[in-house]
Structure 1
Amino acid sequence: MRWRDQRAGARLLCNPPIFDLRGNHLMTPDLLDAEAGVIGQYDGIVHDRTRVRRRDLEVEERCRGLGLEVVTMLSADLRDLRSFDGRLATAYRRAGQRRPTPEWTLDQPWWWIDTSTVDRRRALGDEDRRIWLRRQVA
């Protein structure tokens, strides 16, 4: 993985739900380095759609308010990763200059249904599968 090549020792979490301190779900990023406060998102071709892009920008703004830095890999970056490498380094540099904020947590509230593993997703009933695993493609 490119990120781990550049940031040796980074503990990356895949699709971790992030909550505010009242237990409200804020977002579920593609990757998170919780210690550094850096979020990684992958934007494939579907993210060019207006509704999807608008939602992406709202998440980025929410992250800034929480003191989290977002770095985005575009599908075009897969042909030449130098641009992504630069954005990743910059995101870590900015994150290192920010003061940590206690306004978010990875602690899941009682009502949250964890779908972070294949076994947990397979254990869902039909209705929970519809609710918790729905695609959010515009």
Structure 2
Amino acid sequence: MPHRWDPTAPPVTGLVRPVRVDPTGRTGPTRKQARGPHWRTTSAGLFVPASVSADLVEQRIVEAHARAGERAVVTGWAALRLHGARFSDGLARDGRTRLPVPVATNGERRAEVPGLLLIRQRVPEDEVVLRHGVRCASVERALFDEMRRLGEPREMAVAVGAVCAAGLTSVQRMRGYAAARRWYRDVRTVTGALEMSVEDCRSPQEDRFRLIWEYDAGWGRPVGNRPVLDESGRLVAVPDLLDVTRGVVGEYAGADHRDIDRHESDIAREAALRRVGLEYVEVVARDLRDPAKVVARMQEAEQRAGLLPRRWQVGPPMSRRVP
């Protein structure tokens, strides 16, 4: 079973595209059946079997696309999810509020409706692919549109990192995409955010910690998710972040770290890193809302690290897959 922090979305099957009423009952419910308990209305005139739940984010995207029309193109976070980006989960930062599904109407006149975010810019056909039978923007175009939706450079960089971690694209490829589309709206903002982006963070929260590390603390870009070996070449740990010069590692502790077995493992990991001469900074989600507190903790770790003998080395980068 994939880990909850795996950046690749789990495979999904059995998505159902909404259908219209069919008097014969062959391609859809009859009018009587549509009013009964065995069918669910997804939007005006469109239905799926009642057993099909919209709680699955991919199903919600399929239903939104059906509402928008055949020429419409799903883009932004929704297209990225259908491409396989796990952290494009359709939820706001609070983890509860559902985001509207971004859809480029591609010339069709559509009124604003709840659950849809209508994108007025066209997605050209050479940037359209089929995923689960849905017309989706290509990975690079979808990510470009998601960055424009987010607007804030750091969150844009986090979005890039999450899609790269899923192996769907690379920072270099996104730079090339933006450079080839200089006439697109907000391209300069997107280009600036790409300079802040990395490919080696395993989760959005880890990447937000990295941005504090790099820009608020001014420590420069850390080494991400690289093996740390002892003097004999044995693996000590693979920390989220590592400052090779200062001898400090950084770890983001998600909710799963509260599990008693995981917590015990974390304590042993911290002790192992200190034994070879590395200091340790751990943050949780709440800490990331207060960069000054995180920076102060990092500075304290730097002072302690200066007293430790160095008995460690950095191992080779871990492989990434990009199509």
TM-score for the superposition, normalised by structure 1: 0.71
SS state of the match for residue 283, structure 2?
strand
SS state of the match for residue 10, structure 1?
coil
Q: Is the 8 A contact 2:278 2:308 kept in 1?
A: no
Structure 1 residue 115: deviation in Å? 2.7
Q: Is the 8 A contact 1:14 1:32 kept in 2?
A: yes
Q: Which of 104, 115, 125 does residue 318 from structure 2 map onto?
A: 115
Give the 5 Å matches for 1:36-55. Answer: 36-55=246-265
Q: Which of 312, 315, 323 does residue 104 from structure 1 map onto?
A: 312
Q: Is the 8 A contact 1:69 1:92 kept in 2?
A: yes
Which has the larger share of helix?
Answer: 1
Give the 5 Å matches for 1:119-130. Answer: 119=322
Greater RCO, CA 8 A, separation 6+? 1
In the alignment, the residues of structure 2 paired with residue 99 and residue 52 of structure 1 have an alpha-carbon distance, to the nearest angstrom, of 26
Q: Relative to structure 1, is the Cα distance of residues 9 and 47 closer, same or farther in structure 2, using a 3 angstrom cutoff?
A: closer
Aligned: 1:91 with 2:294:
no
**Residue matched to 2:169:** none
Aligned: 1:26 with 2:236:
yes
Structure 1 residue 6: deviation in Å? 3.5
Identity of aligned residues (%): 32
Q: Is the 8 A contact 1:16 1:116 kept in 2?
A: no
SS state of the match for residue 118, structure 1?
coil
Q: Is the 8 A contact 2:226 2:318 kept in 1?
A: no
**Residue matched to 1:58:** 268
**Residue matched to 1:81:** 291
Runs of 4+ in structure 1 off by over 6 angstroms are none
Q: Deviations over 1:53-108 (max 9, x none)?
A: 11111111112211111001111212333332221121112123x1442x211145
In the alignment, the residues of structure 1 paired with residue 289 and residue 246 of structure 2 have an alpha-carbon distance, to the nearest angstrom, of 27
Q: Deviations over 1:99-133 (max 9, x none)?
A: 442x211145xxxxx534334xx7xxxxxxxxxxx
In the alignment, the residues of structure 2 paired with residue 117 and residue 89 of structure 1 have an alpha-carbon distance, to the nearest angstrom, of 32
Letter in 2 for 1:80: D
In the alignment, the residues of structure 2 paired with residue 42 and residue 24 of structure 1 have an alpha-carbon distance, to the nearest angstrom, of 23
Aligned: 1:68 with 2:275:
no
Q: Is the 8 A contact 2:277 2:312 kept in 1?
A: no
Q: Is the 8 A contact 1:38 1:91 kept in 2?
A: yes
Q: Which runs of 5+ in 2 are unaligned?
A: 1-210
Q: Deviations over 1:2-57 (max 9, x none)?
A: 11123425341000101122221110000000111000000011111111111111
Q: Relative to structure 1, is the Cα distance of residues 83 and 7 closer, same or farther in structure 2, using a 3 angstrom cutoff?
A: closer
May I ask how many residue pairs the two structures share in their alignment? 113
Aligned: 1:17 with 2:220:
no
